[in-house]
Structure 1
Amino acid sequence: MDFKYLVIGLCLILGGFLLFKEWRRANKARRALRLLASSIAVICFALFIFPVTYQVERPERPHELNFLSTGAIKDTVKNLKGRLLTTDAGLFQSLKMPKLGLIADLPYFLKSEPEINHLNIYGYGLTTDELSALQGYQLNFHPSARPKGLISASWNPRLKSSETLSVQGIYNQEGDLPVKILLQGLGESLDSLTINAKGENTFSLKGRPKQTGRAVYHLIALQGKDTLAKEPVPVAVQPALPLKILLLAAHPDFEYKFLKNWLFEKQYPVIFRSRISKDKYSTDFLNTENINVNRINSTLLNKIDLLVIDEGELEALSAAELASIRTAVDSGLGLLLRITGVKATTAISRGFDRYESPELKNKTLTVQLPEQERLFGPLPFEQALFLRTATTDQPVLTEKTGKVLVSSRIHGMGKVTATVVPTTYNWLLNGQKEDYADFWSALLNRTARKAAATELWNIDPVIPVFRQRINITVDQDAAEKVPLIISNGLRLSPLQNIALPFQWQVSTWATKPGWNELNLNGKTAFFYVYREQDWKEQRNIAKLKATAAFVKGQKSTINPLETNILMKKQVSIWWFFFPFLLAVTFLWYETKML
C-alpha cells in the first residue's frame, strides 16, 4: 500500500479516536473548542509529513547561459539564476558552487547546444581565439576589477650584442608601501626603480646583456622582503654583424682618434682617411684589407655600411664624389654627418636646420636618450649649437632640457644622421665607458645600412603559453616558394595568404615550456614558451581589453526568447507548527488547569 494513503488512514483513525473521546467525556464544558483543537492538531500533524505545495509561473530564458571566466568573484555570481559554466578548473574548485558546471571548451560546448544564443560573461573574459568563435551570439560582459601587480610589459626579445635590452611596462600599485621593480639576470641586477604612487605606474628599465645566445632574465617586484612577482624575460642575443665603416676627416683630431680605436676594439672593419693637403691623405685600415680610398666612388661605397664624415671634409669633396654619396645613400648606405658650424656648406648638410642657444653657455652638456629618459654623464664644455627638427626628422639624442643634439631622417633606402656634439671622448677619459658605448652604439644602429633579411617571422600570441595554440607567420622574398618550417623536429604545413602571397601562416601547439627551436628554410631560430603561471596579470588584462572591445563592436540583434514555466513551491511547515502547538497546548491546559 502507498505510504501516503497509509499515513492518511492512520491520521483519520487517530482523529476519529480523539473526537470520540472528547465527545464521550463526562465534562461537557468547552466541548466545541476541544473538538476544534483536536481536529487542528491531527490535521497539522498530517501536514508535517506531507507539506502543502502550489504552482507558480516563473519567467525563464532557456537560450541564455552564464559563463564564468578566470577572475570571477563568488559574491558577484552566487545569486545568478540559470545555467553556470566555466572552463577554468581552478575557479571551479575555488568557488565550490553546486550549480556550477565544468566544461572542456566553450565553443565546442556551444556546438552541442544550438539553442543558446545569449551569453553572460563574468570575470576577465576570453582570448581573441575564443571570441572569434562567438560571432553571432549576443554577449553581455561583466568584467572583474583590473588585476594588481605587473599588468603590462614589453621588451626587445631578439637583439644584437651591441644593443640595449629595454623593458617597459605598467605596474598597478594598490598598497601604501613602496614597491621596487628590479631587472635581474645572470646573477646581477641590471636596473631598478621604486614605485610609490597608487594606481597604474609606467616604468622603464634597461641593461646591456654581456653574453650572446639565449638567456632568461627576470622582472621582479619587491615590497620589503616580500617578492610580489617574478616574471621571466627571455632574450636571444645574436652576435652583431661587423659593420664596415669609412671615416673621412678634414683633419685628424682626438674625437676621430678615440672613435677609431673604440671601433677597432669592437672588431669593426674600419677605414680611416684624414686629409693632409688638397690631394694627400693619411689612411688607416683596421680589421680590413687595404684598398684605394683616394677617390670616393660608387664601387667603394657599395662595400661600406656606414660613412662618418664632418662638414669640413664634405665641403672639400668634388661634385662627382658628392653625387656618388647621394646615390649610395639612396641605395641604403648610412651617412653620419658631424656638424660643426651654424651655416651649412653643402647640399647634403643643408637639410638639417641648426641654431645657436647662447643661454646655455658656461654650462656642462648633459645628453639623454629621449625614449629611455636616461641621462649620460656631463661633458665638460659649452654647447651652443643645436638642431631644429622638421616633421621628417626623428630626434635620437637630446640635451636634458629637450634641445636636439642628434637627429636622423630617411633618405631613399638609407638614413642620414646629423650630430652637433663636438667631442665625446671625455667620457672615456673620465672612465665612463658605458656612456661612450651607448652614445655611439645608438648612432651606429640607427644609421648603418640594414642587412636584407630573406625571411621574417613572428609568433602570435606574443606570450605563448604551454599547451596552447600558437600561430607562426613567415614573410619571405620568394612568394612562389613554400617555406620549410620545422618546430621542435616536427615539420609543419604552412598556408599561403591570398591577399599577401609572400606571407605564410601555420598553427601548432606549444608542446613544452622554455626555449623551443624553430627551423626556417634551414636557419635555426628560437622562441620561448611560458608556463601557465607566467605573466598571468598581463594575459588577464589582454583578455579584459579584447572581450570589452569585441562586445562593444558586436551588433546586438539577437533577442533571447523569454518563456513562462510552472514551478511547484512548498508552503513552509512553520505555518502548521504554530497552530499545532497552540492546539495541543490548549488541550493540555484545559485538561490540567481548568
Structure 2
Amino acid sequence: MSSNLTFLNTSWFWPVLIGWVVLLLVFLWKEWSQAGKKRFLLKISLSVLAVSSLALIALKPAINEEVREGNVLIITEDFKQDQLDSLKKAYRKIKVIDYRKDEILPELKTSKQIFVLGRGISVFDLYQFEDLPVTYLAGDTLAGIVKLNYNHKNRVGNNLQVQGRFLKPKFGNRLVLEDAGGTAMDSIVFTSEENKNFKLETELKVDGNYIFNLTEKDSLGEILGRDALPVIVNKEEVLRILILNSYPTFELKYLKNFLAESGHELLVKNRITTGRFKFEFFNTENTNLGRLDEETLEDFDLLISDTGALRNLSSSETSALQNSIWETGLGLFLLGEANTLNSVGDFSVFELERVSGTETEIDNLPEVSIAKQPFQLKKEFGLEEIHNSNSSILSGYKRIGQGRIGTTLLENTWQLQLEGRQEAYQKIWSQLLEQISKRTSVTASWKAKNDFAFKDQAFELQLRTSVENPRVRDENDYLIPLKQDLNNSELWTGKTYPQKTGWQKLKIEQDSTSVFNYFVHNAEDWQALQSNRTSEENNRFFQQEIVEEKSVKMPIAINSLWFYGIFLISMGGLWLEPKL
C-alpha cells in the first residue's frame, strides 16, 4: 500500500474486511449456477466493484497531502496595538487567536507563518511551537521590578539582602522593604525616572517562616504596589572545621578570620617544614591533633585543605579521610590551583575546561567583579552547581558516599573585603560551607525548581531521599505524582498545581517528619517580573534556528460520492444484465 494512502476509520478495517468477504461469497454462490457462461465474469466483476465500494464508503480512504493553511496571529498580554494593526493590514485574511482568554491553542503545524505579539507564550505551552515558523514581537514593558535576587532560605544572624532592577520608576516614589507587620526595614527613593538597580537589606534575628514585602509608595506615602517576599529563616548552625595548610596564603588568612568571627569551631594545622606543624584554635579548646584517623575526623563537619597538604598525607591518613567521607558524611573542600586538582589521587573527582578571562560576575551577585582562574568545571553527571556565571560552572561539588567533595575556581576572594564588599564575601563562602559540609541526618532533602509558586500554575520540585518508592502528599492530602531519575534511584521530580495562596507544605507519606514548606502567590503578583521573564524565555525559544522546514502532510478524505457512484453503476449493471 502506498505511504500516501490511508484510511480514516482504520479501527473498522477487520470488521469491514470480514463483511466484504461474506458479501462476496454470497454473490459468488448466487451466480455459481451460471459458471462457464460468457457473462459470468462480467457479473462477478460488477459484484466485486459493488461490495468494494461499500467497504470503501465505510473505511473512508484518504490521501496524505501537504497542507499549508494561512497565517496565524496570537495576541498575548501587553501587546502593542500598532503592531496588531500593521499585521492585520499586511495580511488581510490572517487568523487571530486571543491567548489572553485562556483558549486552547488550535493545531498550528499547518500554518505558513505564526506571529506572537505581547508578553509571549507561557513556558508550559512553548513545546507546541517547536520547529514552527514563528516571529515573536515583544510587547510593552511594564513598570516595576523586572529582576530580583535574594535567598529564599537564610539563617539567624545573616542579613536578608534583596537586589533587583526597577523599570520606569516615578520621581519621588519610594521602594520599601517591610516586615510582616508593615514596619519599614530599609528603603530607597527614586531620584530620577531612569531604570534603577536597587539593594535593600535587614538583619534576620529569629528563625521561622516569614513574609517580607517590597512596597512601592508615592511621595505622600500612598501604597502603589506590594509584592510578597517569603523567607525561611533557620537556626544558626555552628560547624566544626579542620583546615590543613601546606603554605600561607592571603585567601586562607582572611577565610580563617571570617570563619572564626562567624562563630564556627576552627582548628588549623599549618605545615612549617617536613614533619613539623603549627596549630591554631578558634572558638574551641586546644587539643592534641596527631595523625588523622577516622575517630578524629568524626568530630568534624568539614575539612578544608589545599592540594599540597592532601598529597602530604600518609596512606593511613588518606584511607581514614576516604572512609570518613564515604561513611560518616564528612565534607572535603579543595583549595588550590586548577591544574593541581587532578593530582590528589582518589580525591581528583573534577574535570576542567580551559576558558578565557580571569574576571567574572557570578549569577547571584550581579555587579560584583570577582577574580577567577581561566578554567570552568566541566558539566557532567553527578556534579552539583554552587556558583555559576552564565553557563560556566565556577563552584560545585560531587556526592561521594554519604559525604561531598567540593571546590571553587574563584580566587583572591579576600580582595572583596579590602574593597568594602564584605557582604559579597560572606555570601560566597556561606554558600560554599552550607553546600559542602556534613549533612544532618535526614531521610529526604527538597529543592524547588521554580523561584516562585503561583496559584493554579505548575510548581516543580525535586526530592532526594533514601525512602523506597516515596509517596508525597500536599496540604489537602492529594498524592503528587513523582518521576524517578534514570541514573539516580534516590532522585525524584514532581509537579503540583497549588489551589490556595499562602504557606503550603508537602510531606512524605512514609516519613511525616520530612516536610517541605513553600509559599504560593496570587497569579496577579509580581506582574512586571513575570512579564519580563516570559518575554525573555520567548525571545530565547523563538530565536532557535529551524534547520529545515518540514512539510506537514495531513490525510484528505477522498469524496465518498465516487464510491456511491461506482456502487450504483455496479448494482445497475447487475440489474440490467438479465434483461439484455
What TM-score comes out, normalization by structure 2 length? 0.54
1:329·1:415 contact (CA, 8 Å) conserved in 2?
A: no
C-alpha deviation, 1:300, in angstroms: 0.8
Change in Cα spacing, 1:273 to 1:458, as seen in structure 2 (3 Å) is closer
- Aligned-pair Cα RMSD in Å: 5.9
Provide, for residues 306-355 of structure 1, a one-character-per-residue CA deviation record: whole Å limited to 9, x for no partner.
46899xxx9xx997898689768977445799xxxxxxxxx99xxxxxxx
Provide, for residues 459-517 of structure 1, a one-character-per-residue CA deviation record: whole Å limited to 9, x for no partner.
45433221x331434242549x3222111133325343564453433333220111111
AA aligned to 1:507 is: K
**Counterpart for residue 533 of structure 2:** 542
C-alpha deviation, 1:545, in angstroms: 2.2
Q: 1:299 aligns with which of 273, 282, 295?
A: 295
Helix, strand or coil: the match of 1:146?
coil
**Counterpart for residue 145 of structure 2:** 150
C-alpha deviation, 1:232, in angstroms: 1.4
C-alpha deviation, 1:534, in angstroms: 0.8
Provide, for residues 272-294 of structure 1, a one-character-per-residue CA deviation record: whole Å limited to 9, x for no partner.
999xxx99999999799x98756
Change in Cα spacing, 1:174 to 1:329, as seen in structure 2 (3 Å) is same
Change in Cα spacing, 1:391 to 1:454, as seen in structure 2 (3 Å) is farther
Gaps spanning 5+ residues in structure 2: where?
A: 1-67, 246-253, 336-342, 345-363, 378-385, 387-393, 415-419, 554-580
Provide, for residues 338-388 of structure 1, a one-character-per-residue CA deviation record: whole Å limited to 9, x for no partner.
xxxxxxxxx99xxxxxxxxxxxxxxxxxxxxx947799xxxxxxxxxxx99
CA distance in 1, matches of 2:148, 2:280: 48
Provide, for residues 232-264 of structure 1, a one-character-per-residue CA deviation record: whole Å limited to 9, x for no partner.
111112224442346899xxxxx999999966x
**Counterpart for residue 68 of structure 1:** 75
1:494·1:504 contact (CA, 8 Å) conserved in 2?
A: no
AA aligned to 2:179 is: G
**Counterpart for residue 230 of structure 2:** 234
**2:237 counterpart of 1:244:** no
**2:497 counterpart of 1:509:** yes
CA distance in 2, matches of 1:136, 1:374: 39
AA aligned to 2:74 is: F
**2:211 counterpart of 1:216:** yes
CA distance in 2, matches of 1:228, 1:244: 48
**Counterpart for residue 162 of structure 2:** 167
CA distance in 1, matches of 2:137, 2:244: 65
AA aligned to 1:129 is: F
AA aligned to 2:120 is: G
Q: 2:454 aligns with which of 454, 459, 465?
A: 465
C-alpha deviation, 1:153, in angstroms: 1.2
CA distance in 2, matches of 1:557, 1:200: 45
**Counterpart for residue 86 of structure 1:** 98
Q: 2:179 aligns with which of 173, 185, 188?
A: 185
Q: 1:139 aligns with which of 114, 134, 142?
A: 134
CA distance in 2, matches of 1:136, 1:272: 58
Query: Larger C-alpha radius of gyration, 1 or 2?
Result: 1
Helix, strand or coil: the match of 2:478?
strand
CA distance in 2, matches of 1:230, 1:193: 15
CA distance in 1, matches of 2:82, 2:536: 23
C-alpha deviation, 1:543, in angstroms: 2.0
**Mapping 1:137-536, distance limit 5 Å:** 138-173=133-168, 177=171, 180-186=174-180, 187-194=182-189, 196=191, 200-225=195-220, 227-245=223-241, 293=289, 296-306=292-302, 332-333=330-331, 371=365, 391=375, 413-414=404-405, 443=429, 446-447=432-433, 449-452=436-439, 455-466=444-455, 468-476=456-464, 478=466, 481-497=468-484, 499-502=486-489, 503-520=491-508, 521-522=511-512, 523-536=514-527
**Mapping 1:87-102, distance limit 5 Å:** 87-88=99-100
Helix, strand or coil: the match of 1:304?
coil
AA aligned to 2:79 is: A
CA distance in 1, matches of 2:280, 2:110: 82
C-alpha deviation, 1:181, in angstroms: 3.8
Change in Cα spacing, 1:147 to 1:445, as seen in structure 2 (3 Å) is closer
Provide, for residues 131-174 of structure 1, a one-character-per-residue CA deviation record: whole Å limited to 9, x for no partner.
22344654333321322221121322123335443333222236
C-alpha deviation, 1:213, in angstroms: 1.5
**Counterpart for residue 105 of structure 1:** 103
CA distance in 2, matches of 1:507, 1:318: 47
Provide, for residues 50-74 of structure 1, a one-character-per-residue CA deviation record: whole Å limited to 9, x for no partner.
xxxxxxxxxxx97444332111244
CA distance in 1, matches of 2:256, 2:204: 27
C-alpha deviation, 1:539, in angstroms: 1.2
C-alpha deviation, 1:526, in angstroms: 1.0
**Counterpart for residue 121 of structure 1:** 116
2:179·2:211 contact (CA, 8 Å) conserved in 1?
A: yes
Gaps spanning 5+ residues in structure 1: where?
A: 1-60, 89-102, 250-254, 338-346, 349-369, 376-386, 397-406, 423-431, 560-594
Change in Cα spacing, 1:463 to 1:258, as seen in structure 2 (3 Å) is closer
AA aligned to 1:86 is: D
Change in Cα spacing, 1:160 to 1:132, as seen in structure 2 (3 Å) is same
